[in-house]
């Protein structure tokens, strides 16, 4: 069997078992999704910050650009304990903690919000109505009614696991495909059975554990940035790969030019796991802001409270090109990056995998 003919490529009806990671926080773009899907892989869009009406419009726009499979991603757990607890008194108390950062960057203080974040229950109803080809979940498992509705609408479901126990729970829930995401991955650690700090399993080990004990279509993510990485993890038992940082570095992604430049720099050799940008554990290239939050008593706050107060800081830093206060998500495979164009990346991966197999 050819390297590209796998359980996942067959299930998703895609030519190549290569999936673009769904970037949250506004870093996904329709352009990138379209290029990857039309190139034979599967493009993705991280929609966890979008309102329901915007999700419906997003799926409609994607359908206009491609008739291939694409994936919409949501966060099942949309807040941590006390992450939505914000009365005027606590708002002022938290604002005081962030004022030194606002003042340093010349950022206007945020007003007291009516809503801190979108709610999963409302978002997933919109996705089911829009019925994209694929719906992926992180930070948990939806209830049975949601999964039944997806099956009725012919929506293929994918669930992200950071441990074997999570993979087993996803399989037992009836989700179609398991995404095994190792601690090498950039972005958030999407654990849901135990705290993220207790769920740090490497990609290779996680894939081997799942492949050994569970009969399920399996995608691997984390530290995979080139053709050799894809070939290696397929040998370990993965039926497809999801690549985040490699596609984030492409010009078509929604991140800043400054972030893309950092991904190709020597700084990418050093990444850290930190809660300091959103309140949830994620992998970044370390910077001044992460170090400063470590020294600030009372921070970080739970998600999404922390993310709400950090958002103006990130926006100001992005506008000013200030690398010290920009969230540079990066996986441990970043030093392997070569391509700055999604078309070129897909073509190179396919050509090299053809040669390797």
For the segment 302-313, what is each residue's pLDDT rounded down to a tens digit? 999 999 999 999
Structural domains in the chain plus CATH codes: 7-79+117-250+340-356 (3.20.20.70)
Cβ-in-10-Å burial (0-12, 13-18, 19+) of 119 comes to middle
Classify residue 18 as exposed, middle or buried by CB count within 10 Å of its CB (0-12, 13-18, 19+): buried
| CB-count exposure of residue 351 (10 Å: 0-12, 13-18, 19+) | exposed
pLDDT digits (tens, 9 = 90+) for 35-84: 999 999 999 999 999 999 999 999 999 999 999 999 999 999 999 999 99
The strand pairing partners of 131, in sequence order, are none
Cβ(353)–Cβ(231) below 8 Å: yes
Alpha carbons within 13 angstroms on the beta-carbon side of residue 343 total 2
What confidence category does residue 254 fall into, taking pLDDT thresholds of 50, 70 and 90?
Answer: very high
- Above 90 in pLDDT, residue 1? no
Q: Could you tell me how many residues make up the chain?
A: 357
CB atoms within 10 A of CB 10: 12
Mean pLDDT of the chain: 97
Count CB-CB contacts under 10 A for residue 27: 21
End-to-end CA separation in angstroms for the chain: 10
Task: Identify whether 304 is preceded by a cis peptide bond (ω within 30 of 0).
Answer: yes
281-307: b (≥16 Cβ within 10 Å) or e: bbbbbebebbebbeeeeebbbbbbbbb
Closest CA to 255 of 318, 333, 334, 190: 318
* Residue-wise pLDDT tens digits, 143-182: 999 999 999 999 999 999 999 999 999 999 999 999 999 9
Exposure string of 53-71, with b = 16+ CB inside 10 Å and e = fewer, is eebbebbeebeebbebbbb
pLDDT higher than threshold 80 for residue 138: yes
Query: What are the structure tokens assigned to 74, written together?
Result: 């949501």
19 phi, psi to nearest 5 deg: -120, 135
Question: Do 19 and 44 contact (CB within 8 A), yes or no?
Answer: yes
Q: Give the pLDDT mean for 218-226.
A: 98
CA 344 to CA 340: how far, in whole Å? Answer: 8
Asked whether the predicted pLDDT for residue 228 surpasses 70, the reply is yes
pLDDT in tens, 76-110: 999 999 999 999 999 999 999 999 999 999 999 99
Q: What percent of the chain has pLDDT over 90?
A: 98
Instruction: Give the tokens for residue 202.
Output: 């490497």
Does the predicted model carry a pTM greater than 0.95?
yes
pLDDT for res 266:
97
Cα(86)–Cα(88) distance, rounded to whole angstroms?
7
């Amino acid at each position: 069997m050819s390297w590209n003919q796998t359980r996942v490529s067959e299930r998703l009806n895609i030519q190549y078992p290569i999936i673009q990671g769904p970037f949250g926080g506004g870093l996904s773009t329709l352009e990138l999704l379209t290029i990857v899907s039309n190139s034979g892989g599967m493009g993705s869009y991280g929609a966890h910050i979008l309102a329901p009406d915007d999700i419906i419009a997003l799926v409609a726009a994607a359908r206009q650009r491609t008739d291939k499979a694409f994936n919409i991603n949501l966060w099942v757990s949309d807040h941590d304990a006390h992450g939505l607890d914000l009365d005027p008194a606590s708002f002022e108390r938290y604002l005081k903690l962030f004022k030194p950062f606002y003042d340093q960057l010349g950022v206007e203080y945020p007003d007291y919000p009516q809503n801190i974040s979108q709610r999963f229950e409302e978002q997933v109803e919109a996705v089911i109505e829009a019925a994209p080809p694929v719906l992926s979940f992180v930070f948990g498992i939806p209830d049975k009614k949601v999964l039944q509705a997806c099956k009725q609408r012919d929506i293929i479901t994918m669930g992200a696991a950071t441990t074997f126990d999570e993979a087993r729970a996803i399989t037992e829930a009836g989700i179609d495909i398991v995404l095994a995401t190792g601690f090498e991955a950039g972005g958030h650690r999407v654990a849901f059975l135990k705290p993220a700090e207790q769920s740090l399993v490497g990609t290779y080990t996680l894939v081997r554990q799942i492949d050994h004990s569970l009969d399920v279509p399996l995608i691997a993510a984390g530290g995979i940035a080139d053709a050799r990485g894809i070939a290696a993890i397929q040998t370990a038992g993965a039926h497809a790969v999801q690549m985040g940082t490699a596609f984030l570095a492409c010009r078509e992604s929604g991140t800043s030019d400054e972030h893309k430049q950092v991904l190709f720099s020597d700084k990418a050799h050093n990444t850290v796991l930190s809660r300091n940008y959103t309140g949830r554990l994620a992998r970044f290239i370390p910077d001044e802001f992460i170090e400063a939050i470590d020294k600030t008593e009372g921070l970080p706050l739970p998600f999404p409270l922390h993310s709400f107060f950090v958002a103006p800081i990130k926006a100001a830093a992005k506008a000013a090109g200030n690398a010290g206060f920009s969230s540079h998500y990066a996986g441990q495979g970043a030093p392997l990056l070569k391509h700055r164009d999604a078309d070129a990346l897909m073509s190179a991966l396919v050509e090299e995998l053809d040669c390797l197999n």
